[in-house]
Amino acid sequence: MMNKLTLSIWPLLLVTVVISNATISAKDLAQLEMVPGMHIPYYHSHDWRSPGQNVRVAVLFIHGTKRDSENYFDRVLHAAEVAGAAEKTVILVPQFSIEEEATANQLFWSQAGWKQGDLAQNARKEFKISSFDVVDELLSKLTSSNVFPNLERISVIGHSAGGQFVNRYVCAADLAKAHGIQVQFVIMNPSTYLYLDSQRFCDGQLLNESDLKAAAPKYNNYRYGLEELNTKMNQIGKDTIAERMVTRRCYYFGGTADTLEAYLDVTLPAMQQGVNRYERFKNYRTYIESFHDKRWKQNSIFREIPEVGHSSADMMASPVISEVLFR
């Protein structure tokens, strides 16, 4: 037997969460129905059938390019346990699948598309389900019922491809879905970043835009910049994208040993941001510090994680990151 919790969203869409009556362990797999008959799986902690009075913080973790959401759940749970925060922390990790992995009636995306908020490839056109919409609805699920009445803060966090997702989702997130709960964004070791204008930096120096265009004419197209936006971001618009980016609290963490090419975007637009992830992290920090709207610098916190490479497990073991998530 199943229990269903149905959440209303904008016209034409219903979100239904289906949870088994069986005892829910520390990690349970549930289905979020984004449109009638089509769902996306996600892992969650805690028993959602009764109020979690002790829960104060939520961690919504976006997996990497391997789409191994179960492993990402385990890493958050371990970090919460080490911090002594497991009882007060609820964890959610959605699974963005590609076509060959998807089960019947499961939404899927292209390999690159889910990372940047593209539309699901198998949803009917009238629904237009972006991967960003999925996280919006998980925010709503966390905050629109009385399951976690004492929830104070939600961290949307991603590493590698998940970090790329979160960096773009900052601009797309409908925080009205959070119903007044504080939301912060945590970006770890992404391959590339979203820039709000055509400027790029290297070693603290502003690069010549003519040279950038000559080397890579599409260097400022989305997902690297704001030209040629996808459907979801175009609906939001450049002005709103910029306003959200500069006003929302973001933490950027870069491993100082993340200098190898494993899963690195080496396209020309990406290389205009730096030759490896750590260099891109530093260049993006310089860019934000130099940006004309100083609210962005005020709301952006950059921290280096010494001697850590491209490992979500090692990043999550950092006390610096743990403090941000579980304080």
Query: pLDDT tens across 5-42, in order?
Result: 333 333 333 333 333 332 334 689 999 999 999 999 99
What is the residue-averaged pLDDT of the chain?
91
Give the pLDDT score at 8. 35
Q: How far apart are CA 275 and CA 56, in angstroms?
A: 40
CATH no. for residue 205? 3.40.50.1820
Please name the residues in contact with 124: beta carbons below 8 A apart, sequence gap of 6 or more.
35
Please name the residues in contact with 247: beta carbons below 8 A apart, sequence gap of 6 or more.
295, 299
Question: Exposure pattern of 128-138 as b/e (b: 16+ CB <10 Å)?
Answer: bbbbbbbbbbb
Q: Is residue 127 part of a domain?
A: yes
Q: What is the mean pLDDT of residues 132-136?
A: 98
Q: Is residue 24 part of a domain?
A: no
Q: Is residue 118 part of a domain?
A: yes
Give the pLDDT score at 27. 86
Percent of the chain with pLDDT over 70: 92
Give the pLDDT score at 23. 30
Tokens of 154: 């939600």
Please name the residues in contact with 172: beta carbons below 8 A apart, sequence gap of 6 or more.
117, 130, 132, 232, 233, 236, 241, 244
Give the pLDDT score at 115. 98
Q: How far apart are CA 311 and CA 308, in angstroms?
A: 7
Strand partners, 119: 130
pLDDT at 233 over 90: yes
Give the pLDDT score at 17. 38
pLDDT at 225 over 90: yes
| DSSP annotation of 260 | S
* Residue 103, number of CB atoms within 10 A of its CB: 9
Task: Name which of 231, 277, 274 is nearest 257 in CA terms.
Answer: 277
* Residue 257, number of CB atoms within 10 A of its CB: 16
Helices (H), the chain: 69-82, 131-143, 161-172, 209-215, 231-236, 238-247, 268-271, 277-290, 295-298, 312-316, 319-326
Question: Alpha-carbon torsion 246, 136, 60, 124, what sign?
Answer: negative
- Confirm if 57 and 89 have CB atoms less than 8 A apart: yes
Pairing mode of beta strands 28-35, 2-8: unpaired
Higher pLDDT, 275 or 16: 275
The domain total for the chain is 1
Q: Is residue 224 part of a domain?
A: yes
Range(s) of the domain holding residue 103: 43-326
Coil vs helix vs strand at 37: coil
Q: How far apart are CA 183 and CA 56, in angstroms?
A: 13
Give the pLDDT score at 6. 37
What are 167-203's pLDDT values in tens digits? 999 999 999 999 999 999 999 999 999 999 999 999 9
What are 40-64's pLDDT values in tens digits? 999 999 888 888 999 999 999 999 9
Q: What is the mean pLDDT of residues 101-122?
A: 96
What are 60-77's pLDDT values in tens digits? 999 999 999 999 999 999
The band of 142, judged by pLDDT with boundaries at 50, 70 and 90, is very high
Longest dimension (CA), the chain: 63
- Confirm if 171 and 258 have CB atoms less than 8 A apart: no
Q: Is residue 301 part of a domain?
A: yes
The band of 144, judged by pLDDT with boundaries at 50, 70 and 90, is confident
- Confirm if 160 and 134 have CB atoms less than 8 A apart: no
Give the pLDDT score at 16. 36
pLDDT at 310 over 80: yes
Please name the residues in contact with 21: beta carbons below 8 A apart, sequence gap of 6 or more.
1, 2, 3
DSSP 287-318: HHHH-SSTHHHHTEEEEEETT--S-HHHHHT-
Q: Which of 17-31, 227-241, 246-260 shows the lowest per-residue confidence on average (mean pLDDT)?
A: 17-31
Give the pLDDT score at 189. 98
* Residue 177, number of CB atoms within 10 A of its CB: 21
